[in-house]
Every structure is written in structure tokens, then in C-alpha cells.
Structure 1
Amino acid sequence: MKRNYRTKSKIGLLALFLIFTQVIFSQTNDEVQLRKIYDVALDQGKSYDWLNYLSNQIGGRLSGSIQAQQAVEYTKAELDALGLDQVWLQPVMVPKWVRGTPEFAYFETDPGSTTNVPITALGGSVPTPPKGIKAKLIEVQSIAELDALGADKIAGKIVFFNRPMDPRQINTFDAYSGAVDQRSSGAREAAKFGALGVIVRSMNLRLDDFPHTGGMDYGDTPLDQRIPGAAISTNAAELLSATLKLNPEISFYFKQNCKQMDDVQSFNVIGEIKGSTHPDEIIVVGAHLDSWDLGDGSHDDGAGCVQSMEVLRIFKEMDYKPKRTLRVVLFMNEENGLRGGRKYAEVAKKNDENHIFALESDAGGFTPRGFSFDASDTNFKRALSWKPLLEPYQVTMLVQGFSGADISPLKNDTIVLAGLRPDSQRYFEHHHSDNDRFEHVNKRELELGAAAMASLVYLFDTYGIETAGE
């Protein structure tokens, strides 16, 4: 009996030793793979060159525009050149909104005494009448304030929404979320009280002269009751507010020539590497290829597109054979419709595809700080267990939260959704404005973001996800 006990003890110790060495080997192998990923991204990166062409040769890529189609053709050709297993275009109908001639605005303190201010039409806005709109202003801080004022004080005037993004918020996306309702639904709500138009303070923490556009929604407001909306730069908003306090009787004039056209066909651009052992399990990495027409869309979201393309290029360069199918998806029409994200999810559901993980980059090309996860507690804990592997690369912020707009339609009870979280402090200086240009993207920061994304994709490809019942 003693001999049998000792034999069992030796077998037990041997089993523990084998498990221990397997864990050490696995950890060491992961460290080696992540180091290779970063070496390729930082020493042989292609993302910056791709972004240079996308931004400087094509420029702003508003859905339905010639530039958006050029971006589709360019990125497909570059993915074809990587030698992926498959590259294709997924048709999707998208809205076509045209800005027209540049907007013009001024405020008038006395007859003939005017001060020009920089504005830009909000995406999806109706135009002003051909001769523009000139009316008294009423300044408000919120949509709720409209109800308190009522039609008697609003009818026949231009509503000036002037609530700034909250500077106390450390996460600037929280500050954005707390202010953006006045841009997205301000015109719809002001029209209910007889306003002639709305002017909205730009979503920007910095004081500057760049007006920032962005999508707006009229909801079910009849076409003949829709009023035009425009964004005004933060410097001009400060000046306008101060002038109103001194002279509440000033008039404001603005003219814009934007127009909503019929929907047109565009495409999501998709490329994939087929999985070697679990080809039916799909991992997506992606971003939105469209941008607004101000600036060249480098941070929003050219950076995310080239980073997503770079993830697959890195794996090809490393001769890495993924266990699961890896897809890059460049979504069309995130900015003013989310048609690309919805179409991709619709086709995936129709084809009964099994997506286990999706990662989106749509927060600029700044230094990566970590990732946010929309996942079960079990899968979030799994991601947290990889933090020691990511810490040498200063990717340490792993939190639960929002992942990304384009991948959100894929959400179900099992999939893990994640978003790259770069440093956000400078992002809204560029977002949706003429200040979003290639010169403001740092090559090394962009490449670090691509490497961080590839690292997380590698880990999910290696270990998969846990589903209910496992």
C-alpha cells in the first residue's frame, strides 16, 4: 500500500510539473509572439504610408462621394496585395448628403455693423432659403430649456445651443456624450417651438476657430417643417454669447446650401485569413472608411482603417497561421447612418456565421492606453488575465464599456466586443473638423495602436472565448 501511495504521489507531482511547465511555455510563447508583433509594426509598418495616401491623395470620404468610392478601390487593392485568402466588396446602400458651397454667417449688433463667424452645416441638415436666414437669437444651455421657454420666446428666432463639453471629465468621450444631444436633436426639438434654425456650439474642448460638423437627426419631422442646423466654432460661440449678454437684440444671419440626395450604392471592404483549426469561428478587426468632408479624416477614422489592415499584414509578415478566421472589415457610412455596420451584421446572420470576437478602432491614432470590452464577466476576466502580457507595451487600461458603433450590431449573448482606447485628450480638437488632417497623426503612435490591436487579436485567436455551458 505504501508503494502504491508513493507511486500515486510521484504521478501527481509529475502531472503538476507538466502543467506548470506547460503554463510557463505558453506564457513564454505569448511573450515571444507579442514581441514579434511589435517589432514588425514599429520597424516594418505600413499603416502610416497607407494613411498618407488615404488622406493626402483621396481626402475626406463622405458617404456616397467620389472620394468614398476611391477609398473603397484603394483599400481593396492594398488588401489584395497582401495575399490574403479572400478579399471582397460587400454592397450597401448609403445616404448621399452634399454640403454645397461654403457656409456663411455673421451677427449684427447695429444696422450695417457685422462680425463674420465660422460655421459649418451639420450633416444631414436641410439648407437655408436661398437668401439665408436672419433673425434674433435666443441662447440656451440644453434641450430641456426649450420647454421652459416655450413657443412665445422661441418662435421666429434662431436657437443658439451653447452648452460646452464638460472640462471636468477626464475621459473626453464622456464629455462628448454629455453635450452631443444638442447637435444630434437640437434642430428637431427647436422646430417644435417655431424656431427658424439652430446654431450649435462645436463639440470641442479647445477654444479655436474650427467649426465641427457631425450628424443630426430630424426623426419623423415632416420635410416642410425641418429647420437648418449649423455648428459654430468655440471661439465664435464665446464671442457670440458675450455679445448677447451686452446686447440681447442682436441679429444672426447664416446661409448654407446643403442637400440630401437619393441613396447610392457603396461597399464595405472585407479581407480574411482562413483559420487553420477553427475556421468557422470568426474574429473581426475593423474601422469605418467614410469620414466627414471637412479635413481629410485622418484621425476619424483613417487611422482605424489602416491599423485594422495592418493587423492582418503583421500576421502575414510573421507567417503566423491563425487558429480562427481573421477578418478585416472597413465599414462604410458610420458617420451618418451606420449602414455598413448593419449590413455586415445582417449578412453574417443570414449566413449563420459564428463571430466570437470583434475589435474596432474609432478613437483616433493617438497613443494606445488599452481596450474597453462589451463582454460577459467571464470573458472580461479572461482579458484581464492577459494584462501582464500587455503591460510591457504600456497598454494597461482594460475596462468594461462601449466597444464601437460599427461592430455593435453583431452583439449577441456570446460574442466579445472590444474597442481600442487611445489617449483621448486631443481627439476632439480634430474630430469632424477641418483640423482632422494627416499632419496631426504621429507615426509611432499610429503603429503602437496597430501593434496593440494585433496583440489582442492574437490572444483571442489563441485562447478563444468562453460560452455559456462550458
Structure 2
Amino acid sequence: MKKSHYVFLILVLLSSTAAYQPIQEDDEDLIETFQQINEEVLANSRAYETLGEACKVIGHRLTGSLNGKKAEEYAYTLLKNYGIKDVKYQPFHVEAWSRDTVTLAVAPRKSDNFYDIEVVSLAMTPVEAKVTAEIVDVGNGLEPDFQAVKDKLQGRIALVNIGLLAPFKGVRNLHRSEKTALATEYGAVGVIFVNTVKGNVLLTGTASVTGSLIGIPAVCISLESGTHIREWMKEQPNLMGVIDMKNFSKMIKARNVIATIKGSHSKYRDEKIVIGGHLDSWDLATGALDNGIGSFSILDIARTFQALDLKPKRTIEFVMFMGEEEGLLGSKAMIEKSRRNNSLDKIAYMFNLDMANNANGFNASGRNEMVPLLTKFGEYIQKVSPEYKNIVTNQAGLHSDHQSFMLEGIPTTNPNGGIAPEALGCYHANCDDFNLVKKNEMINTVRYTAMMLYAMANVDKIPAKKLDFYSTKDFFIKQNLKKELELGREWRWGQDD
């Protein structure tokens, strides 16, 4: 998951030329349902409590681990206990990865006085690797940064920032897996990522763009350690690094958990809205923010629909994806299964809740035609809850489960909101625990997303339609996402396009 996509968005779209499609049912009826949702969630929400319990009794939710299996069973049982009859597992096979040992030592060339640095392995790194090589500073690790040192990097270890540190202007960061792919392309034999959060915070996450093991070791050190190494390199330009790691990897079976509320109207029943978020997490902490707040909010939205006996016109699938952190594996598996059983065309829309927190609007994800509808429904929400800010944005991004749907031309949205900076620094880190979660902010996500989901499931016509193969290509080019998809080996339209 890409942290920058979930920082509070401030761009408010005040107008659009896209035609608004009026809802079929009376506005007052919709607002009345919004009021029922609001009252139910404020009185009976269990999102915060169930997440707290899961963090306590399960811990982390790493795909392929015993904890991951417990998380799948916890979500399944919870949905059943809420009274939803149609709950199922969707199994898929995945190359599971888990860490064993890793060390990083640094010393000047021709010196035995090595300095050990606290380090953590990135996921999908080799089962065993030991690399000794000179360290080359690649700065922020964007392609121009690699180009600047291309003659120095072959056979060496790249030192790369996870985030963007000054100087930079108006550039889009790359995912750590994309930076690792670039490092490999330019001949590096290892990567040392520098976290950009203060406080000696160690970060993990996948270094693979494909979901499979990569060929070189990739590790992460703290901002403070990175600063120390860079200062040392000024004095000793030929600083050497030794990365020594062992990990585990094997093919296992993981399971998405899917709860379905069947559409009530014969005209719309075959149109499906998917609301999903990844249940899995990394193993350095309990994954309360990433993505406990998103997945457990979805579980509570499902509870709310069941408690109120809401009967949406369209079918809704509430999905707990596994394997997102290792390469969107659960959402890719769902898309592939839908393709095989000829139900892919039935998915009309996708809501993705990944680190969704304190919702105050929705993102149209690059589909201009959705802006008026999201704005209009937001105005209805404001009639029930005046503190709702109705911040509607229109920015497409990658690196979460919505990407799997976008690649099929399916329109997507995610709640706009925010996480306090001091908590956001624990993204993928050893401090992502339940104490960072705020109950009222989870409640806001549940009630406002439930309202928007219900409205979308009942609108006469969803303005954004599924794009065909070449229209999807044009969409990604227009959104300036072609290069990222190429680095992630997800560009499907040929190198000459």
C-alpha cells in the first residue's frame, strides 16, 4: 500500500461539466435511510472494538502465517455472527514469505572495523543472500536519480530513500518495489532503503513488483542511520556494506473472505458493487492502521446493512482481501476467478478502504463523470450530518487492491480522510499498534462510507462505465501512470503504445 495516497487530500472540485444522473428513488427516502444508518452506527458500531480484540488475540495478520489464518477465520465468523447468510472463503495459492535473520554492517574499504546498523528485511527478498559491495547513494531513487549514477551502480549496493527528501519539486514518488526494480535494472546487487520518518522507525513492505521473490537483498534502516551513513560517506567515499539475510518462502493457500448481500431489484441485481480492503498486515506490529482501520470498518458496514435489513437494488460484496501487502495477490485472485466464471463484467464499481480513516469525502479516482454524483450524495449526507465536509477529489493512484479493478477498466473510489502525522509515521513499521486508532474516526468512516455505498447501490445509473481494453490504456496514460505500471510489470498494451 502506498502511504502517500492516504495523506489528507485538500483538492476540492467545485464544478464539473459531467452530467449528473438523478437517483431513481425520492431524495427524501434516501436521506431518511442515511439518517437510519447514522443512528445505527453512532449507537452500535463495533468497528473499533472488534479491531481492538483482533489486535489483542491475533496480533499481526501476515498472509500465509498461522496468524493470517486466524484473521481469515475471525472475519468469517464475525460476518456470520452479524447474521449475514452468504459468507464464503475464496481460496487462492500464494508464495508466502516470512523473515528470519538479517544484518547490515558498514565499514570503509580495506577495513575490518565494521559498524552494525539496525535493519529490517523487506518482503519477498531472497531466502538466503550475503552481499559485500560498495555503497552508492541514489538519493530519492527516482529514475533520474538512477540515471545520474548509472556508471557507478553496477555490482554495488544502492542507498535509496523510501520517501522523498529534499531537494525535489512536484514529482511523484515511486513505490519501494519499483525502486528495487530500477536498482536491479541498473545492476545493483542490493538495496538499502532509508526510512524518511524521524524517531528510529524501521519500515517493512514488499520489494517485489510481481509478488514473487526478487533476486537481490533489500533492507530498510532508519532515517537517523541513513543520515549517519551519508555523513560517513562524505569522509569515506568508498564505504562498503555487507547485507546478510535468511528468510522463509513456500507456496501456501490463503483465503479472501466475501460476504454478499443480494440485490433486491431484478433490473439491477446482476450489477455488483465490491467494497473491499485488505485484512492482511505485516508482522512488525499488529497492523492496526494498515489495514485494520479499513478492513474492520468494512466489517462494520456489513453489520450495519444487516442490522437495518437494508435491501440495495444492486448486489454488494464485502471483501476482506489477503495478500495485498505481498503484491495485491487477493484482489488479483478475485479478478481472475471472476474472469474464469464469466462474472467480471458484472462488477460495476469498487470501493477500496486501505488506511481509510475519518472519512470526510470521496475520491473519484480519475473518473470525471463521477464527481457530480459523489458531490450530490455528499450534500445528502450533510443534511444528516452537517459536520461532514464533502471533500470530493479526482486523483488516480496505484498500489492497493483497487489497482486490480482499475486494470480491468472498473471505476473505483476511496474515502478521503486523514491520519494524524505522528500515527502515519508508523505505516508498515514496528509501532503500528492499536493505541494509534481513534474510535470516533473509525465511526466516521463507517457511517459515511455506508451511506455512500447504499446510495451507489441504488442510483438509477452509475455514470462511470467499465472501460474497454484500449480506453483503459488511454486512462492510465492520461493519469500519468504508465511508467509505474511498466515498472510493476502490469502494463498490458505493448512497449510501443
Paired AA for residue 194 in structure 2? R
2: CA distance, partners of 1:200 / 1:340? 26
1:357-368, aligned counterparts within 5 Å?
357-364=349-356, 366-368=357-359
The answer for the alignment partner of 2:393 in structure 1 is: 399
Alignment of 1:285 with 2:275, yes or no, is yes
Unaligned runs of 5+ in 2: 1-21, 466-497
Instruction: Give the 3-state SS of the residue equivalent to 1:95 in structure 2.
Output: strand
Alignment of 1:451 with 2:443, yes or no, is no
| Deviates further, 315-324 or 398-407 | 398-407
Instruction: Give the 3-state SS of the residue equivalent to 2:89 in structure 1.
Output: strand
Residues 8-62 of structure 1: per-residue CA shift (max 9 Å, x gap): xxxxxxxxxxxxxx99x93333333223222222221111122113222212222
2:260 to 267, 272, 276: 272
1:232-271, aligned counterparts within 5 Å?
232-261=221-250, 263-271=251-259
The answer for the alignment partner of 1:47 in structure 2 is: 47
Alignment of 1:440 with 2:436, yes or no, is yes
1: CA distance, partners of 2:212 / 2:450? 44
Alignment of 1:388 with 2:379, yes or no, is yes
Paired AA for residue 253 in structure 2? Q
2: CA distance, partners of 1:166 / 1:29? 50
The answer for the alignment partner of 1:17 in structure 2 is: none
2: CA distance, partners of 1:251 / 1:382? 57
Quick check: which has more Rg, 1 or 2? 1
2:193 to 160, 180, 200: 200
> Cα distance, 1:406 vs. partner?
1.9
| Deviates further, 50-59 or 252-261 | 252-261
CA contact (8 A) 2:369 2:464 kept: no
CA contact (8 A) 1:395 1:452 kept: no
The answer for the alignment partner of 1:347 in structure 2 is: 337
Structure 1 ranges of 4+ moved more than 4 A: 109-115, 166-170, 191-194, 218-223, 411-415
CA contact (8 A) 1:356 1:414 kept: no
2: CA distance, partners of 1:332 / 1:383? 28
1:214 to 205, 208, 222: 205
2: CA distance, partners of 1:220 / 1:305? 21
> Cα distance, 1:422 vs. partner?
2.0
Instruction: Give the 3-state SS of the residue equivalent to 2:270 in structure 1.
Output: strand
> Cα distance, 1:169 vs. partner?
10
Count residues in correspondence.
431
1: CA distance, partners of 2:46 / 2:168? 35
2: CA distance, partners of 1:379 / 1:164? 31
> Cα distance, 1:413 vs. partner?
8.7
Instruction: Give the 3-state SS of the residue equivalent to 2:401 in structure 1.
Output: coil
1:92–1:324 Cα change, 3 Å: same
1: CA distance, partners of 2:347 / 2:289? 27
1:34-433, aligned counterparts within 5 Å?
34-101=34-101, 103-108=102-107, 111=111, 115-127=115-127, 129=129, 132-141=130-139, 142=141, 143-151=143-151, 153-162=152-161, 164-165=163-164, 178-180=173-175, 183-191=176-184, 194-202=187-195, 204=196, 206-217=197-208, 226-261=215-250, 263-277=251-265, 278-353=268-343, 354-364=346-356, 366-374=357-365, 376-391=367-382, 392-402=386-396, 405-411=400-406, 415-424=410-419, 426=421, 428-433=424-429
CA contact (8 A) 1:414 1:467 kept: no
Paired AA for residue 270 in structure 1? I
2: CA distance, partners of 1:218 / 1:89? 26
CA contact (8 A) 1:370 1:396 kept: yes
Residues 339-369 of structure 1: per-residue CA shift (max 9 Å, x gap): 21122122333444322222110024x3223
Instruction: Give the 3-state SS of the residue equivalent to 2:370 in structure 1.
Output: helix
> Cα distance, 1:218 vs. partner?
7.0
| Deviates further, 306-315 or 33-42 | 33-42
Instruction: Give the 3-state SS of the residue equivalent to 1:357 in structure 2.
Output: strand
2: CA distance, partners of 1:328 / 1:220? 24
| Deviates further, 446-455 or 103-112 | 103-112
1:307–1:403 Cα change, 3 Å: farther
> Cα distance, 1:322 vs. partner?
2.2
> Cα distance, 1:372 vs. partner?
0.9
CA contact (8 A) 2:378 2:390 kept: yes
CA contact (8 A) 1:108 1:250 kept: yes
**TM-score normalised by structure 1 residue count:** 0.82
The answer for the alignment partner of 2:15 in structure 1 is: none
Residues 314-337 of structure 1: per-residue CA shift (max 9 Å, x gap): 122223222222220111111112
2: CA distance, partners of 1:248 / 1:468? 54
CA contact (8 A) 2:367 2:464 kept: no
Higher relative contact order (CA 8 A, sep 6+): 2
What is the percentage of aligned positions where both structures have the same residue?
24
**RMSD between superposed Cα atoms in Å:** 3.2
Paired AA for residue 274 in structure 1? K
> Cα distance, 1:269 vs. partner?
0.3
> Cα distance, 1:118 vs. partner?
2.4
Structure in which a larger fraction of residues adopt helix = 1
Instruction: Give the 3-state SS of the residue equivalent to 2:125 in structure 1.
Output: coil
Paired AA for residue 286 in structure 2? D
Instruction: Give the 3-state SS of the residue equivalent to 1:85 in structure 2.
Output: coil
